[in-house]
Amino acid sequence: MTGRLDGHAEDRGRVYQALGDQHISEHHHHGRRADEVEAPQGPDSVRRPSVGRPPVVLRDRAGVLERLRASVREGQGGEAFVLYGMGGCGKTAVAYTFFDLATRECGRAGLWVNASDRASLRAGMLAVAADRGAADGELLAARNGLRPAADLVWQYLDRSQESWVLVLDNADHPEILRDGSWLRTSPRGTVVVTTRRPAARWWPGAELQYIGVLPREDAARVLRDLAPHSGTQQEAAQVADRLGRLPLALTLAGGFLSQQVLDPWTMEAYGRRLEEGAGVELIDQGADALSEEDPRHLVGLTWQLTLDAFESRGLPEATALLRLLARFAPEPLPLSLLNHDGIGAALPRARCETALRALLDQSLTELVDTGERCVQSHAVLLDSVAAATSAELAAVLHTTAVALLDAAVPAVPDAGPHDPKLRLLVPHGLALLRGAGDRTTSAAALAVVTRLAAALHRTGDYLSARETARAAADLGEGRLGTEHRLVLAAGSRTGRALFRLGEYSEAEVLLRRVHAAQERLFGTDDPDTLDSRHGLQLVLGNLGARDEAVSLLRSTVAGRRRALGADHPLTLRSRSSLLVLLSASEVVQEEDGALLSLPAECARSLGPEHTVSLGARHNHAWALYQLGRFDEAGQEIRLVSEAYRRRFGPDHPVALSARQLLSRTLVARGHVAAAVEIMTDVVVRRERGLGADHPFTVAGRRLLGDFTSKERRPPAG
């Protein structure tokens, strides 16, 4: 001991020194214990505004708030307001404050929906319907696109026992509100929309309220609200002027100033840095022309100052992480995607936690919980960071982002229950495809997004699969050309989803076109050609073109044997389809009778629980039923039905198909009442999940009618 106190700590490090004996106990508690189970996010998440940080004090919005307050007084309702202005001007802060007073002071039920894109709007509005009392089956039908989702939501809003306030936040693409007529009014509540798009044609019947930058004095007060000890009102006003008096920039600047501990910054020092940087002229231009069409440059240097501070504090990985996040969409990004070795190309994986905490501390990103723990950053921030990233570095980051998404999507999508994480990945995959800088990166992104669409398809989320694959095909076509292999594969995937949604005619046209192009470009036995051919025969079989479907399916089986091998899962799957498409006499003769032993062959090659093995047993039960071997068929399909129910849940389309076949075998054995009970349940679930007019639902309803008539028919003799 020298007697000198010379310890030093940086950031959150701590040093304890003493001249005498000391005993120090320190306890740290970080987050949830490993043995604690996180409760699932319920539909009531729409009851809380999804904003990163509530405003400390809302400045200079009294007139707008008073007009909004009048709409929620007792007996009022049926009005819609559009808060418009450039990005970062505080539209969401105004909506948040109004939401709070409407719920807290006026007793309104508050409903908050992120309307930044089609998927977020749809999910949020369906959550609103759930909050207002919609049943699970109705929501499932709406999710699958077989019941008008907007009509369902507004039906329950109109029936609401409570008066409500509905906020549609970040509606910067009003065309998605028009598609389906999501924006409506109701005497039961008040609607508030925030958007950058002020054109009145987008908002018929709504009252527009402009939200602009703050007056000088109020802008200075925002800085001092957040960092009261950093400078005088006059110094704050000078900094506010340099920041263009944009609320978002002021919030970030005030947050930066208030969080410096070891080396606190003053307003004057902050302003001096603004003047010294290469971007001073850009900020001055933004301040002088506040109506500039693209407002992102007004805040670019504010964020860059924070990034520079990361560098000076020895946290370059925080900047690297933010640049990586800027490659993705401004939507909730599952944290599990970042927790992967592939991130090492952008920043050391061991430093990712530190980097993320730094971004959270500076309000450059936020944690959100959608049932999956996610991180989300503001769109303007991400655009600004992306624009300031060099082309060389952007290429590396984009490749890294695609690799991370690739690792998050199942390598070989398999059938399974609904997985909400998959839907969260969709906007990020499409963002990577939009932002790809060259053909190689575009191709890599397109391959991942198409595989993601296949994964959604396998869970029975056919609507999301169709929308994802179609968007991917359109984007890929613009970057790679109409006849690129991956573009055609995305089109084929779209056709498969259209078929499952009951849109047979559109599916046939698309799959015929794709199959013809693939056959011409890649050959008859190319795996992609064969995949489209298998999908096309499914459509034709359901359209009644049986002979052509059989010919295509036999060709697919032969081609897959040659290209992939006899034991490949896809070969076995196509052979399994023959059990359904062929007549009883043809099944017995096909492959010299070997087709009827296909389930045992699949079990030997793939295992008895493999999805293809279960499918083969399902189709084999149908063949047995066609052959009049009803007892054997009933025993097999009952076991398959139970396996499907365990793995996929009772509402999965394949589980309902198995239950329908089980009911047929029961009728054939004289157990009509039991069959009616099963088919009644099948029809109800199909109506909820697929819609009343889906071909599968119509066929099930017809079959139920046949069973019911048999049940009522008096016994012969």
Q: Where residue 184 falls among pLDDT bands split at 50, 70, 90?
A: very high
pLDDT for 173: 78
pLDDT for 306: 65
The rounded mean pLDDT for the chain is 84
CATH of 631-712, one of 3.40.50.720, 1.10.3720.10, 1.10.3210.10, 1.25.40.10: 1.25.40.10
Q: Is the pLDDT of residue 93 over 90?
A: no
> Is residue 336 packed enough to be buried (19+ CB in 10 Å), middle (13-18) or exposed (0-12)?
middle
* DSSP H helix total and E strand total for the chain: 32, 8
Please tell me which residue, 52 or 169, carries the higher pLDDT value. Answer: 169
pLDDT digits (tens, 9 = 90+) for 430-480: 999 999 989 999 999 999 999 999 999 999 889 999 999 999 999 999 999
Residue type present at position 153: V
Mean pLDDT of 164-173: 89
Highest mean pLDDT (candidates 39-48, 103-112, 474-483): 474-483
pLDDT for 286: 26
Closest CA to 252 of 268, 239, 234: 239
pLDDT for 31: 43
pLDDT for 33: 43
- Strand-strand pairing, 373-376 and 333-334: antiparallel
pLDDT for 302: 47
pLDDT digits (tens, 9 = 90+) for 124-137: 999 999 999 999 89
CA distance 221 to 152: 45
Q: Is the pLDDT of residue 26 over 60?
A: no
Mean pLDDT of 475-489: 95
Least confident of 77-81, 188-192, 549-553: 77-81
* Token pair for 237: 């006003």
Least confident of 155-159, 251-255, 283-287: 283-287
CATH of 43-210, one of 3.90.1510.10, 1.20.210.10, 3.40.50.1360, 3.40.50.300: 3.40.50.300
Highest mean pLDDT (candidates 69-78, 561-570, 706-715): 561-570
How crowded is the C-beta side of 175, counted as CA atoms within 13 Å?
0
User: pLDDT exceeding 70 applies to what percent of the chain?
Assistant: 83
HEC secondary structure over 7-74: CCCCCCCCCCCCCCCCCCCCCCCCCCCCCCCCCCCCHHHHHCCCCCCCCCCCCCCHHHHHHHHHCCCC
pLDDT digits (tens, 9 = 90+) for 500-533: 999 999 999 999 999 999 999 999 999 999 999 9
CA 76 to the chain's CA centroid:
35
Mean pLDDT of 151-172: 92
Closest CA to 552 of 569, 542, 567, 537: 537
User: pLDDT exceeding 90 applies to what percent of the chain?
Assistant: 54
Q: Where residue 570 falls among pLDDT bands split at 50, 70, 90?
A: very high
Least confident of 31-40, 310-319, 496-505: 31-40
DSSP-derived secondary structure letter, 157: H
CA 596 to the chain's CA centroid:
42
CA distance 677 to 683: 10
pLDDT for 35: 41
Does the reported pTM lie above 0.75?
no
Q: Where residue 296 falls among pLDDT bands split at 50, 70, 90?
A: very low
Q: Show me where the domains of the chain are located.
A: 43-210, 216-314, 566-627, 631-712
Beta bridge partners of 193: 82, 168
Q: Is the pLDDT of residue 338 over 80?
A: yes
* Token pair for 275: 């003047």
Mean pLDDT of 651-664: 94
Mean pLDDT of 318-345: 92
pLDDT digits (tens, 9 = 90+) for 243-274: 667 677 777 677 667 776 666 778 787 777 75
Q: Where residue 39 falls among pLDDT bands split at 50, 70, 90?
A: very low
Mean pLDDT of 173-182: 84
